[in-house]
Structure 1
Amino acid sequence: MKFRPLFLLAVGFTLVLGASSVSALTADEVNKAALCRDLRKKTTKPNPSILKAQVLLSRRGISPGMIDGLDGENYRKAIAQFRRQEMLGEGDAMDARTWLALGGDAAGDIVVEYEISAKDSNHHFAKRIPRDYARQARMKRLTYTSPREMAAQRFHMTEHTPSAPNPHPNLPQA
């Protein structure tokens, strides 16, 4: 079974605007993203340079929260942590020195093609996970409920994200 979404190598994917509304960036936009200097205005639209920075922070072991291309609290905390770690001074701004230290312009591809393997789709999925912890404890194992959930967890995204570059994906059903 072939399914070729664009996934962020080892950490994420393209992006999610929210649970109900998804807006996709192209792989090219993210891979070629440079430091965005005008982040003063809050926006609900994903930004390719923020998404790229989120992936690079995650690769450094600093969690930016959900990789979604949005300038949020966890992203700012991750920048502040990176700046302290690299002795770039206090603050949570992604300035030119921080971007350079993160490897922003020198980074290889951030978004790459990923094909869900037969092993992925043959995983033993649960029909559902009960909310009650006592019932969860009685389960043989807590596992994924679908290939989409497995991909979302593996690549630090939401379950809605695979729909961004593939509005009508042919995902195997659990």
Structure 2
Amino acid sequence: MFRPLAVVLLLVSTEPAAAAGLDAASINDAAPPSVKLPGPHQVNASVARLEIMLDRAHFSPGEIDGKLGENARKAMIAFAGANGLSFDKAVTADLWSKLAASSDGAAIVNYTIAEADVKGPFLEKLPPKMESMKDLPALGYRSPREALAEKFHMSEELLQALNPGQKFDKAGDTIAVANVLDAGNPAPVARVEVDKTRQTLSTFDAAGKLVAFYPATVGSAEKPTPSGTLKVTAINKNPTYRYNPDYKFKGVKSKRPFTIKPGPNNPVGSMWINLSAEGYGIHGTPDPAKVSKAESHGCVRLTNWDAGRVAAGLAKGTPVTFVESAR
């Protein structure tokens, strides 16, 4: 368990996300942040590089957006604690060096858009209500830009800022993206721990070592996540979502069950890890920016890519323990 601590970072750039000065070079050459705390809505080259290194080390900051948000802070605290490093009011040289050592290659790299990235089909509009989704043939991405941003664990705004004027709809074009695809999956998971208070999910190996860490949305007031230890009973990629009217979710008026076709914009995203309590699971989301910032219907919500990484290390029977840490 890790105690939240204050973080002080250097403001490398005070410009907004679309600033011309924010490019691959400014992120790849960014120095360790220290001294001054950037605002939570300011995009920062050092923070972007830090987020990418954390993602590659399997200490996920959630959506990589270049902002020093709550999820990036959680990941830094967890990484420092797991590596026995001092972490108080600054990102120390030791912490930065340890992250850099676990992350080969540049933070931002070039990528050539493939035919599959722009093939679609894409949704013209994502309905805001579940009932309106049930008749759609699939819950795909809304645009090539959304698909590419998710592929590289980025916010659409940061992807666009790094590629000004790019429409992301032409195969063969070269774009700048976060270097996260070759990070691989973490070690096999012997145990999962979900912290209901801190809104995080951690995985441990057979020796009890923390091997990966993720921000999460855990439950809601209307349907709290269960306590105690459950087990993984099934892992389903690209799941069909089945709504049970007994759940009585807020905003859903249907009194009959219905299903929603698979796709990354499905209510449970592109991955469902079923748990041994009926109706509960660990899953993805159509809105990665809201992970740990909006309520879930009782389940554990991760970004689609983090849910995929967690699933890759699990097997049926893996224990998932829900805890409530001290604030």
TM-score normalised by length of structure 1: 0.75
Q: Match for residue 23 of structure 1?
A: 19
- Is 1:156 aligned to 2:156, yes or no? no
Contact 1:30 1:110 in 2 (8 A): yes
| 1:92–1:76 distance in 2 versus 1, CA, 3 Å | farther
What does residue 140 of structure 2 align with?
143
Question: C-alpha deviations, 1:98-120, integer Å up to 9, x for none?
Answer: 11111169742111111211121
Please say if residues 59 and 78 of structure 2, whose CA atoms lie closer than 8 Å, have aligned partners that are also in contact.
yes
> Using the alignment, how far apart are the partners of 1:88 and 1:108 within structure 2?
23
Q: CA deviation at 1:68?
A: 2.1
Matching residue's letter, 2:127: P
Change (3 A) 1:132 1:105: closer
4+ residue segments displaced more than 3 Å: 89-93, 104-107
Q: Which amino acid aligns with 2:77?
A: A
Alignment correspondent of 1:41 = 37
Query: What is the number of equivalent residue pairs in this alignment?
Result: 154
Q: Which of 109, 119, 124 is the equivalent residue of 2:121?
A: 124
1:61 correspondence with 2:45: no
**% identity of equivalent residues:** 32
Partners of 1:41 and 1:86 lie apart in 2 by 24
Distance 1:36 1:91 in 2: 13
Structure 2 unpaired stretches of 5+: 1-14, 171-327
Structure number with the bigger relative contact order (C-alpha 8 A, sep ≥ 6) is 1
| TM-score, structure 2 normalization | 0.42
Tell me the amino acid that sits aligned with residue 99 of structure 1: W
CA distance in 2 between counterparts of 1:92 and 1:66 reads 24
Q: 1:166 — aligned with what?
A: 163
Question: Could you say which structure has the higher strand fraction?
Answer: 2
Change (3 A) 1:169 1:91: same
Higher Rg: 2
1:141-171 per-residue CA deviation (whole Å, 9 max, x = no partner) reads 2110110111122122222333313332243
Higher helix share: 1
More divergent stretch after superposition (58-67 vs 82-91): 82-91
RMSD: 2.6
Segments of structure 1 that go 5 or more residues without pairing to the other structure are 1-16
CA contact (8 A) 1:80 1:91 kept: no
Give yes or no for contact 1:83–1:91 (8 Å, CA) kept in 2.
Answer: no
